[in-house]
């Protein structure tokens, strides 16, 4: 079967990571190559697994009416917006379907509990953070292989999916305000002008390593340039040039990362100019965002998401709320005005420090935050010490919650659980674990990331009648 070309496969769905889905007899076929539902394609099989095939599209036989022309010149190469060739209306349709499928097939619940997805008003320039990588040898398209000069190889952009050492040089990205593009291109050109070597991931050499650009709806901008080596003259020259060229930047940092990995959480940032943070406003609340702070990447949709979570909680004013995976305390701040007390738990210490500052900034006095592993902090002893929660709000990362956390939540016996998720599959799995004690009432999908397969959900769970006992 491997290497065989199967003709005229009808594309019927899109998988979680943007692959196209078809069917041959009883086998599901996952396809790379940018097809959308309604396309008819020929596929070369590259892998055979139990129950499914993996393939690569070799030819399009028929194009779908759902197709649209991608705006981005890098579509199909960088992998960041794999759905940009599918109309936004249809993107929402398939995202909603993916949530219903997870709820039904993984959780075993009625898919009718999933409400109509809420789309994003902005489908471009909606992100407030982008991370770019420098490369000494940019990814070349097949058409470029014989038409480039040696000095054209260095670039700044995004990693090719599945290739850690391959970076697509980006001219224009549509995901952030265009100032982000201008800053990136300026830094690239300045480094080339100074003949500063770009990063070589295999050899672990070079100076220019990465670039982080963040902005807020208050029009504050943070730029972090990451160098691999501490070349003071180079750093001072590049940072001064950025400062002088872009007065819009309100927080300008640099970091030196000589490590084998790209993580920056164990590296101290150096403030070159401006404030040590930027400020975002969501609703009536302001939030401090530092270099290492986690914050929802789509600020405008985040407000909608948090409003839904608060509405699902149906707060009366006297509740004890546990906010699990609190991050920088955004949800905790959102619900604090309508509850007795909020206890937030988060594994990243820097995020907890931001959460405390955010409470202070907004004059919030009824929040308490704890940093550490969720399994180790959220224990029966913690619950006994701080009070049994009336409401638990949980917003875990993509892998979802540890089974022990689900068990502790059930032991806590809160009357309401609000589960905020960026992964419908792990959400459905976790809710199934808790289904002996909790009923799933409804799920609200929210599109935070147009042109990608990602979708956020807010699920409401309530304590079953037979379990309604006090702690």
Which residue numbers are catalytic? 422
- Which residue has tokens 């640099």? 254
CB 241 within 8 A of CB 248: no
CA 334 to mean position of chain CA atoms: 21
Helix pair 403-412, 424-433: axis angle to 10 deg: 50
Q: Is 207 exposed, middle or buried (0-12, 13-18, 19+ CB in 10 A)?
A: buried
251's CB contacts (< 8 A; 6+ apart) are 220, 221, 222, 223, 271, 274, 275, 276, 277, 278
Alpha-carbon dihedral sign for residues 298, 21, 52, 160: negative
CB 157 within 8 A of CB 78: yes
**DSSP letter assigned to residue 268:** -
Backbone angles phi, psi at 394, to 5 degrees: -130, 135
Strand partners, 271: 253
Q: How many CA atoms lie within 13 A of 370 on its CB side?
A: 18
CB 330 within 8 A of CB 296: yes
Distance CA 109, CA 432 (A): 8
Q: Can you give the C-alpha Rg of the chain in angstroms?
A: 24
Q: Is 154 exposed, middle or buried (0-12, 13-18, 19+ CB in 10 A)?
A: buried
Backbone angles phi, psi at 357, to 5 degrees: -65, -40
- Token pair in block for residue 266: 């164990």
- Token pair in block for residue 467: 């379990």
Distance CA 357, CA 346 (A): 15
């Amino acid at each position: 079967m491997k290497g065989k070309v199967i003709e005229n496969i009808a594309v019927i769905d899109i998988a979680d990571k943007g692959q196209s889905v078809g069917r041959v007899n009883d086998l599901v076929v996952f396809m790379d190559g940018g097809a959308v539902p309604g396309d008819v394609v020929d596929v070369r099989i590259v892998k055979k697994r139990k129950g499914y095939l993996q393939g690569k599209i070799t030819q399009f036989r028929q194009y779908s009416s759902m197709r649209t022309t991608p705006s981005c010149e890098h579509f199909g190469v960088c992998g960041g917006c794999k759905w940009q060739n599918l109309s936004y209306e249809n993107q929402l349709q398939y995202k909603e379907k993916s949530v219903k499928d997870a709820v039904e097939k993984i959780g075993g619940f009625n898919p009718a509990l999933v409400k109509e997805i809420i789309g994003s008003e902005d489908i471009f320039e909606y992100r407030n953070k982008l991370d770019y990588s420098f490369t000494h040898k940019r990814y070349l398209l097949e058409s470029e292989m014989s038409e480039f000069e040696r000095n054209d190889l260095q670039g700044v952009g995004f990693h090719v999916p599945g290739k850690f050492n391959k970076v697509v040089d980006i001219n224009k990205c549509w995901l952030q305000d265009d100032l982000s593009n201008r800053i990136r291109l300026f830094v690239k050109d300045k480094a080339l002008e100074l003949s500063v070597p770009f990063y070589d991931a295999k050899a672990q050499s070079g100076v220019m390593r990465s670039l982080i650009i963040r902005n807020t709806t208050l029009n504050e901008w943070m730029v972090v340039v990451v160098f691999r080596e501490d070349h003071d003259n180079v750093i001072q020259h590049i940072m001064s040039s950025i400062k002088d060229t872009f007065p819009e930047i309100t927080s300008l940092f640099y970091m030196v990362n000589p490590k084998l990995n790209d993580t920056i959480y164990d590296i101290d940032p150096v403030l070159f100019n401006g404030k040590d943070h930027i400020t975002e406003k969501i609703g009536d609340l302001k939030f401090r965002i530092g270099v290492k702070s986690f914050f929802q990447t789509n600020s405008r949709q985040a407000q909608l998401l948090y409003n839904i979570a608060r509405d699902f909680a149906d707060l009366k004013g006297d509740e004890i709320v546990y906010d699990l995976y609190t991050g920088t305390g955004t949800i905790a701040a959102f619900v604090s005005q309508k509850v007795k007390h909020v206890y937030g738990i988060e594994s990243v210490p820097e995020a907890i420090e931001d959460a405390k500052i955010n409470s202070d900034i907004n004059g919030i006095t009824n929040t308490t935050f704890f940093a550490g592993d969720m399994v180790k902090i959220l224990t029966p002893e913690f619950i006994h010490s701080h009070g049994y929660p009336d409401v638990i709000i949980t917003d875990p990362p993509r892998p979802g919650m540890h089974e022990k956390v689900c068990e502790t939540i059930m032991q806590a016996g809160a009357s309401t659980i609000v589960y905020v998720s960026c992964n419908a599959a792990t959400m459905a799995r976790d809710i199934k674990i808790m289904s002996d004690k909790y009923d799933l009432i409804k799920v609200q999908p929210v599109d935070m990331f147009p042109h990608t397969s990602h979708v956020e959900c807010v699920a409401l769970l309530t304590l079953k009648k037979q379990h309604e006992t006090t702690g």
